[in-house]
Amino acid sequence: MDPQGHVDVPQLGRVIVEDDVEIGANATIDRGAGTDTVIGKGAKIDNL
């Protein structure tokens, strides 16, 4: 934050979801500010 308020930070990364991934209901995945977020093959992300 600067004296004039919040500063927007560009999100340049991507989200890459590989094969056989399970993502539960209400799960959130954020893309990276500079690099990619990778959900690897066979990963399981549970519900919130």
pLDDT per residue, tens digit, the chain (48 aa), is 678 889 888 899 999 999 999 999 999 999 999 999 999 999 999 987
pTM: 0.75
16 within a domain of the structure (yes/no)? yes
Within a domain: residue 46?
Answer: yes
Whether 6 is in a domain gets the answer no
Residue 34 lies in a domain: yes
Residue 39 in domain: yes
Residues contacting residue 23 through CB under 8 Å, at least 6 positions apart: 17, 29, 39, 45
In-domain check, residue 18? yes
Which residue range is the domain that position 33 belongs to?
Answer: 11-48
Give the number of domains in the chain.
1
pLDDT score recorded for residue 1: 64
